[in-house]
Amino acid sequence: MGVLMSRRQTVERVQKVSLAVSAFKDGLREQPSTRRRAEAGTARQGTLEQEVQEGEEEASAGPSQPEESSASKAAWERLRDGRGVEPEEFERANRFTPPAFIRPKRELHDDEPPDISLEQREQIVNDEMCEICEVWTAESLFPCRICPRVYHDGCLRRMGYLQKDSAVEVTETAHTETGWSCYYCDNLNLLLTEEEMYSLMETLKNCKIIPESCLTLDDFLHYKHQVHKQQFERTMPEAQEEQAALQFNALDPDKKGHIEWQDFLSHESIQLLQKIRPQNALLRLLTPKERERARAAFLALDQDNDGFIGEGECRQARHSWFRKHQKEMLSCNVSISHVGPISEGSPASSRNGKSPEKILPATKQEETRSIDWPGFLRENVAYILAARPNSAALHLQPL
């Protein structure tokens, strides 16, 4: 119990000290202003009429910032800081303080090709203690399928990251090959640096996108048209509009007629990463777990063990990264994403009773072009990253 309470006591003490320091600073700020008011008392006599007039002007002008703008400002701040739901939206009783997200920074060597060997397997080891409370309780910890972090379900609830409707899903999937992404890995927007996030926010503001709102198909296509016109100074071709409509359908797998804000934000984040960063920099974002899954997929496709696969097989493998939400997979011993594409007649080839998007057959040119292990990683890295969120939406539609 002493170990369990140590971190909470530390947080509470830090918060109390911070409040005391803030109050002390506020007292220091108020002292000189009080002196100035006393010294200026004589000078202020006889200006009552002027103050009344100024007060009437301010009252007639109304509040400087309406409630809508303040709410919008708070939403933009949450977007900038990478936060999801504001802590005030959760019950305060017995709740941990959510962590402060720190956006990554680009390093000088990021654009250099990383050394990811096909033959040398990586040992996957999860953390031993809960990321939140730093307590070890063995099998009751839920591991993330992307990073080595592990969590208690109770800690996730008290953080506000595990609601009642998602608790059962996390419990069922965390200990399977399907896996569950923690709140760090589930948010693709946290991969952006501050500069990249500023660029994305400017684009959203210029296109009049309201943060934390759902987008219909018309909204999504209008946004895509505006972005294309701003970038190329011409109208978006019809073929790209059709591709954007397909992407909207991929982001709306349940056919609700709109896409959720978090799915839209994840899609735009991965799109921006593709445009700004070279593939070598994207490869450095892959975790050991993701690299191991990629190895297993490539080795399964390389049946003759010559170190090459066909382009058609590589293209089909892009679809396999997103086969992680079917209920049928929970009882499987081997992950579908480990063995490559799913056959259309397999039990896992449908999502929630719906037919999957058909994969076009490989052309003769695709079958003849061979791709080695480094090329396989480069061509699939964006799709591997886009498959991180727990959402059933496809944040990057495979081509």
Kindly tell me if the per-residue pLDDT of 381 is higher than 90: yes
Q: Is 266 helix (H, G, I), strand (E, B) or coil?
A: helix
What is the structure's pLDDT at 116?
93
What is the structure's pLDDT at 330?
34
What's domain 188-276's architecture?
A: Orthogonal Bundle (1.10)
Q: Which residue has the higher pLDDT, 115 or 332?
A: 115
- Which residues, 6+ apart, have CB-to-CB distance to 288 below 8 Å? 122, 123, 124, 148
Out of 144-158, 182-196, 204-218, 252-266, least confident range: 144-158
Distance between CA atoms of residues 226 and 222, nearest Å = 6
What is the structure's pLDDT at 63?
45
Distance between CA atoms of residues 345 and 339, nearest Å = 16
Kindly tell me if the per-residue pLDDT of 18 is higher than 80: no
Mean pLDDT (whole number) for 366-391? 89
Q: Which residue has the higher pLDDT, 312 or 342?
A: 312
Kindly tell me if the per-residue pLDDT of 345 is higher than 50: no
Distance between CA atoms of residues 181 and 389, nearest Å = 6
Domain(s) labelled CATH 3.30.40.10 in the chain stretch across 122-186
What is the structure's pLDDT at 97?
59
Distance between CA atoms of residues 26 and 28, nearest Å = 5
Domain(s) labelled CATH 1.10.238 in the chain stretch across 188-276
Distance between CA atoms of residues 39 and 50, nearest Å = 19
Q: Which residue has the higher pLDDT, 270 or 87?
A: 270
Query: Which letter does DSSP use for residue 123 in this model?
Result: -
Length of the chain: 399
What is the structure's pLDDT at 76?
75
Distance between CA atoms of residues 80 and 139, nearest Å = 36
Kindly tell me if the per-residue pLDDT of 392 is higher than 50: yes
Torsion sign across C-alpha atoms 300, 305, 308, 310? negative
Q: Which residue has the higher pLDDT, 60 or 371?
A: 371
Q: What percent of the chain has pLDDT over 70?
A: 64
Q: Is 310 helix (H, G, I), strand (E, B) or coil?
A: strand
Out of 41-45, 169-173, 246-250, 323-327, least confident range: 41-45
Nearest by Cα to 297 from 202, 371, 363, 393: 371
What is the structure's pLDDT at 207?
93
What is the structure's pLDDT at 235?
92
Q: What percent of the chain has pLDDT over 90?
A: 39
Distance between CA atoms of residues 119 and 117, nearest Å = 6
Burial class (CB in 10 A: 0-12, 13-18, 19+), 288: middle
What is the structure's pLDDT at 172?
75
Distance between CA atoms of residues 288 and 125, nearest Å = 9
Torsion sign across C-alpha atoms 256, 260, 264, 267? negative
What is the structure's pLDDT at 22?
55
What's the chain's average pLDDT? 75
User: What are the backbone angles phi and psi of residue 335, rounded to the nearest 5°?
Assistant: -70, 140
Q: Is 360 helix (H, G, I), strand (E, B) or coil?
A: coil
pLDDT band with cut points at 50, 70 and 90 for residue 96? low
Distance between CA atoms of residues 73 and 85, nearest Å = 14
The fourth-level CATH superfamily of domain 122-186 is Zinc/RING finger domain, C3HC4 (zinc finger) (3.30.40.10)
What is the structure's pLDDT at 57?
53
Distance between CA atoms of residues 318 and 360, nearest Å = 12
pTM comes to: 0.70
Q: Which residue has the higher pLDDT, 336 or 359?
A: 359
Burial class (CB in 10 A: 0-12, 13-18, 19+), 207: middle
pLDDT band with cut points at 50, 70 and 90 for residue 90? very low
Mean pLDDT (whole number) for 159-170? 71
What is the structure's pLDDT at 118?
92
- Which residues, 6+ apart, have CB-to-CB distance to 182 below 8 Å? 131, 144, 146, 147, 149, 151
Residue type, 249: N
Q: List, for residues 174-210, the tens digit of each pLDDT value.
A: 777 778 999 899 999 999 999 999 999 999 999 999 9
CB atoms within 10 A of CB 45: 8
Count the alpha carbons within 13 Å of 140 in the hemisphere toward its beta carbon: 9
